[in-house]
Amino acid sequence: MKFKGIYPDSKGWFEKFGGRFVPETLMAPVVELEEAYLKYRNDKEFQATLKHLLLTYVGRATPLTFAERLTEKLGGARIFLKREDLAHTGAHKINNAMGQMLLAKKMGKTRIVAETGAGQHGVATATAAALFGLECVIYMGRVDMIRQEPNVHRIQLLGAKVVPVESGTKTLKDAVSEAMRDWVSNIRNTYYLLGSALGPHPYPMMVRDFQSVIGLEAREQIMSVAGKLPDELVACVGGGSNAIGLFYPFLDTESTMTGVEAGGRNFNSGQHAARFQGGSPGILQGTQTYILQNRDGQIEDTHSISAGLDYAAVGPEHAMLKEMGRAQYTSVTDSEAMEAFHQTARLEGILPALESSHALAYAIKRAPKMHRDQILLVGLSGRGDKDLSTVREYDAR
């Protein structure tokens, strides 16, 4: 099925998902943000500045790497990796952080607040804030601070303040809530730099646009080296920014698209973060999408060995693509992701982030079922330096 249409609509809807569900106190700043983004979205000077920053500071274009040894071992499809781990700060998050930071500067904001789970968005935001000379405060759940301690230190070294979140599950969902509370209290001078393609409109659209550089580059690169488009695209899906960034420029093609969620330990409540397999439509933190909730509509606890996938909702554009049948979504377990981490390290000399390891785990199962003339393109969203303590603890069990 080819994708037809332009989304979201003027009110932020991706068919029946998305929208803008915010308290009255946040409506004015959200509308202000939308107006500013629509103004600068097609502004030649803004886009030229962003392109220059991505080229000279972020290090784009990131390479497309043929995973030769992994391909040889598995047989079947040729596996290519889109190397966002080689962007400055080690993940795709910097693409969106640079775009939004430039927008915040244009809006006259002097203070940035953000949330982070795995820490990569926090690092990217702190990096961009340092470059632009803006005050920066990062909210991070206490649980994530413990398992992502290296990134906490990196954020602090970059001059940003890390605020531990002690409420709820002390993970990403709670960090988002605290960042939004800060924004409400400091609307005049503060910009909320949301890290994934979720939240109230215009964030899902805006983050997708800034991350689409991933897919635009990948499309040109695969045509250059292989002379054809990939048969299947694969990316991990937490909030979904790296996946939608890869998928969006391919929506008008015949390429299959597969998003991989966190299957965690098992499918009991609180043991996974697979929204499409274990969730249902609902509203969380400003947007209508698939969420993990009980029969009474209360948000369920989540779990993933990967902090960046440990979230109860998914971006609304992914929800639309799922229901349209344009993309398919599956999950892999903690143990499968960990095995993919080790296999990629030993065969390709790449330590992938545990988020990316979920996509690689699916690719390792999928490639042998495909023909040798087919191409499997995997979004490698980030590098695994941040996860070494988690890997060490897991391997020691």
Is 323 known to be catalytic?
Answer: no
- Strands 111-116 and 190-192 come out as parallel
| 84 classed as catalytic | no
Q: What pLDDT is recorded for position 5?
A: 63
State yes or no: pLDDT of 293 exceeds 60.
Answer: yes
Q: Is pLDDT at 269 greater than 70 in this prediction?
A: yes
What would the pLDDT profile of 63-113 be if each residue is shown by its tens digit?
Answer: 999 999 999 999 999 999 999 999 999 999 999 999 999 999 999 999 999
The catalytically annotated residue of 34, 84, 115, 232 is: 115
pLDDT tens string 116-164: 988 999 999 999 999 999 999 999 999 999 988 999 999 999 999 999 9
Choice among 34, 82, 84, 93 that is catalytic: 93
pLDDT tens string 173-211:
899 999 999 999 999 999 999 999 999 999 999 999 999
Label residues 122-141 b or e (16+ Cβ within 10 Å = b): bbbbbbbbeeeebebbbbbb
Catalytic residue, candidates 196, 306, 356, 381:
381
Going by C-alpha positions, the residue among 84, 5, 82 that lies closest to residue 321 is 5
Note the Cα 259 to chain centre separation in Å: 11
The yes-or-no answer on residue 11 being catalytic is no
